[in-house]
């Protein structure tokens, strides 16, 4: 079987950013079993408490994010540039951008809600 037709070579800066709300945008690359994203958060952006079946690996490239894991009353975990947070499947979490931030998220399997636009918790954080 010739699998070369499935190979893609992409450049982040050639991809349009998807604006989700006034403080959050992203770019998505997806394969069959994994998803790689760039997430841009302006200082003060909030990702409301949520969970998903997908494993998530978050690498903060620039800036800093404060995470609450499990409940909003938990001790926060600050993840700064050069640091990585591994979130197992179904673990509730919330994030706050402590400064303008770029993070790279890897999800497996790919986030279907991000692909089909049913991720209302990001598009309208007040609805979460």
Domains along the chain with CATH numbers: 27-127 (2.60.120.10)
Q: Using the structure block, give the residue that is written with the tokens 């951008």.
A: 97
Query: What is the rounded average pLDDT of the residues 51-67?
Result: 98
Query: What is the rounded average pLDDT of the residues 113-126?
Result: 87
Nearest CA-CA partner of 82 in 98, 59, 65, 100: 59
Give the per-residue pLDDT at 2.
52
pLDDT at 3 over 90: no
pLDDT at 48 over 80: yes
CB 51 within 8 A of CB 43: no
Assessment of whether the complete model's pTM goes beyond 0.85: yes
């Amino acid at each position: 079987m010739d699998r070369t037709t499935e190979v893609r070579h992409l450049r982040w800066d050639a991809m349009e950013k998807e604006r989700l709300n006034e403080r959050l945008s992203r770019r998505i690359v997806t394969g069959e079993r994994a998803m790689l994203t760039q997430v841009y958060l302006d200082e003060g952006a909030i990702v409301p408490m949520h969970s998903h079946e997908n494993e998530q690996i978050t690498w903060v490239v620039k800036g800093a994010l404060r995470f609450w894991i499990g409940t909003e009353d938990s001790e926060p975990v600050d993840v700064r540039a050069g640091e990585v947070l591994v979130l197992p499947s179904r673990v509730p979490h919330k994030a706050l951008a402590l400064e303008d931030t770029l993070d790279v998220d890897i999800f497996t399997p790919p986030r279907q809600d991000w692909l089909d636009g049913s991720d209302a918790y990001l598009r309208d954080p007040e609805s979460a």
